[in-house]
Amino acid sequence: MQISRYRIKLSRLKHIFISHLHGDHYLGLVGLLSTLHLRNRVEDLYIFGPAGLSDIITVHLRYAEMVLGYQIHFKSLDSGNSEVLVDNDSIYISSIPLDHRIPCTGFLFREKIKYHRLKKSNKLKNLTLEEIHTLKSGRNVMGPDETIKYSVNEYTEPPRKARAYAYCSDTRYNEDIIPYIKSVDLLYHESTFLGDLEQRAYETYHSTARQAASIALKAKVEKLILGHFSIRYKELYPLLSEAIDVFPNSHLAVEGQQISIDH
Amino acid sequence: MQISRYRIKLSRLKHIFISHLHGDHYLGLVGLLSTLHLRNRVEDLYIFGPAGLSDIITVHLRYAEMVLGYQIHFKSLDSGNSEVLVDNDSIYISSIPLDHRIPCTGFLFREKIKYHRLKKSNKLKNLTLEEIHTLKSGRNVMGPDETIKYSVNEYTEPPRKARAYAYCSDTRYNEDIIPYIKSVDLLYHESTFLGDLEQRAYETYHSTARQAASIALKAKVEKLILGHFSIRYKELYPLLSEAIDVFPNSHLAVEGQQISIDH
């Protein structure tokens, strides 16, 4: 329903990442899979989630006697270890072990930038397409006598910095995640409670706003988004305020908001 | 979400009836059960549905490692036969076998009216509470000599007519349901297609508006509500119009609308 509300094209959906099997984190999935089928999807879909998710999807489809018109590739997550989930030319995605009441993982999305950027220059018009490709790939163009014909440093600038986003859903305060999320541009971290309920956060395997900000600070991330607020808080500003005291570039997650990461 | 939107009190929810296991008919259930738990429900809940529904609920709760704070009594429905599901002092509820691609039942809700209505009369002030209860229960008050002291016919009018509602979700045109829904005050019957798609309705185990109206006419029901329209119809008036041609007291189901049955 939210995908529809925010006019996200279902055809752009290729991978789905489910952190854990509490209802507020996945109960819309089976309906989404049915909708994709009814909209005549044929492209493969990749789903990453706890092992039980495959059973859950299977039991729903079995009783509906429904055979999806597209194929699901399901990868069962190991909540105890970080795993590489996707590694292609454009992106690297891995899991982050979290500390929750049931098996739970976060996800790290790291962009890959392959190409150097050509410097604007009149000399470019002398180059062949193959030579330009060599330079953009970060290699010098060599002459017939093994000398450098065109230097990558002279003709190009290095690739822009690749962007990284880490999504850490339900978790206790856990410094073990810091190596995984080190220096990411954007960190989403749950922030269920205010600091005065730190004990309650511990008991329910959640974090306080201060703890989320502390993780952001220690991991030297660029920007922090707080979310997953307890319904007890009618006013969210105190959660934001508490986080900002520790990590100034903190923000509240707002349903439907788009956040750009620019360099 | 709809229960919340229409401000229906969750505490009034005692029984849940699921016709069949296609997603549009039950996918909200697990979320509802979780919400009831989080809202601290302790009263027993009675769920009636196809056998597989129990497996589905169980697998969700198992992976969430969730133990509900209330007890669910699950009754698995036999889609081939009508069964009595609830029979108490105030209501009688039975299932209606439907003809759909997967096991599917409708539901008949028949009110029970126990009490005769006392006629207004000055003579009533001579009666004891016990004598009044006897008359309201439809029995004569007998004198010590086995004669009638107060006659139920003289002192009371018969109970008002009990109301009945039949819910027939997804089904092909099926005259076999007529005995079950005979003369009900209100019939909900699916009406997925217009009459020109009768063949398509047959193939997909659905009904046309004309077929729904024909069932209403033959069952001599008082009022017909049409629902479950194919998303191909941007304009629903033709569906209503087609039904009215056959059964004039036909109406379109409107999300959130309340329909009173008065005598």
- In this predicted structure, the answer to whether residue B263 has a pLDDT above a threshold of 70 is no
CB A176 within 8 A of CB A109: no
Q: Is B52 on the interface with A (CB under 8 A)?
A: yes
| A88 burial level (CB within 10 Å; 0-12, 13-18, 19+) | exposed
Q: What secondary structure does DSSP assign to B87-145, as a single string?
A: ESSSEEEEEEE---SS--EEEEEEE----PEEPP-GGGGGS-HHHHHHHHTT-PEE-TT
CB A243 within 8 A of CB A250: yes
- Residue B84: what pLDDT? 98
Give the 3-state secondary structure of residue A254: coil
- Residue B145: what pLDDT? 87
Which helix or strand (DSSP H or E) is residue B181 part of?
A: helix B178-181
Q: Is B144 on the interface with A (CB under 8 A)?
A: no
Residue B12's pLDDT band (cuts 50, 70, 90): very high
Q: Is B54 on the interface with A (CB under 8 A)?
A: no
Q: Is A68 on the interface with B (CB under 8 A)?
A: no
- Residue B63: what pLDDT? 96
Query: B145 versus B203: which is more confidently predicted?
Result: B203
- Residue A123: what pLDDT? 81
- In this predicted structure, the answer to whether residue B33 has a pLDDT above a threshold of 80 is yes
d(CA B195, CA B238): 10
- Residue A249: what pLDDT? 97
CB A95 within 8 A of CB A109: no
Query: B159 versus A70: which is more confidently predicted?
Result: A70
| B262 burial level (CB within 10 Å; 0-12, 13-18, 19+) | exposed
Q: Which chain A residue has its CA at the smallest distance from B50's CA? A: A63
Which residues of chain A neighbour B64 with C-beta distances below 8 Å?
Answer: 21-23, 102
Q: What is the DSSP letter of A146?
A: S
CA proximity to B28, closest of A236, A60, A70, A105: A60
CB within 8 Å: A27 and B30: yes
| B4 burial level (CB within 10 Å; 0-12, 13-18, 19+) | exposed
A78-113+161-254 CATH: 3.60.15.10
Across all residues in chain B, what is the average pLDDT? 95
CB within 8 Å: B59 and A55: yes
Sheet holding B15-17, edge to edge: B15-17, B45-49, B72-76
Query: What percent of chain B has a predicted confidence (pLDDT) above 70?
Result: 100
Alpha helix stretches (DSSP H) within chain A: 2-5, 23-26, 29-38, 51-63, 129-136, 152-155, 178-181, 198-203, 209-218, 237-246
- Residue B120: what pLDDT? 86
Q: What is the DSSP letter of B167?
A: E
Point out the least confidently predicted range of B54-58, B185-189, B258-262.
Answer: B258-262
- In this predicted structure, the answer to whether residue B183 has a pLDDT above a threshold of 90 is yes
CB B221 within 8 A of CB B181: yes
Q: Does domain B78-113+161-263 have CATH number 3.40.50.720?
A: no
- Residue A106: what pLDDT? 98
- Residue B160: what pLDDT? 84
d(CA A56, CA B85): 28
* Domain spans in chain A, listed from the N-terminal domain onward: 1-76, 78-113+161-254, 117-157
d(CA A151, CA A159): 15
CB within 8 Å: A21 and B52: no
From the candidates A24, A89, A145, A262, which is the catalytic residue?
Answer: A24
Residue B124's pLDDT band (cuts 50, 70, 90): confident
Residue from B21, B29, B33, B66 whose CB has the most chain A CBs within 10 Å, to mutate: B21
CB B134 within 8 A of CB B73: no
Digitized pLDDT (tens) for each residue of chain A, 263 residues in all: 899 999 999 999 999 999 999 999 999 999 999 999 999 999 999 999 999 999 999 999 999 999 999 999 999 999 999 999 999 989 999 999 999 999 999 999 999 987 899 988 878 888 999 999 999 999 999 988 889 999 999 999 988 889 999 999 999 999 999 999 999 999 999 999 999 999 999 999 999 999 999 999 999 999 999 999 999 999 999 999 999 999 999 999 999 999 999 86
Q: What is the mean pLDDT of residues B241-247?
A: 98
pLDDT digits (tens, 9 = 90+) for B79-107: 999 999 999 989 999 999 999 999 999 99
Which residues of chain A neighbour B22 with C-beta distances below 8 Å?
Answer: 64
pTM of the model: 0.85
CB A171 within 8 A of CB A100: yes
- In this predicted structure, the answer to whether residue B208 has a pLDDT above a threshold of 90 is yes
CB within 8 Å: B23 and A60: yes
Q: What is the DSSP letter of A107?
A: E
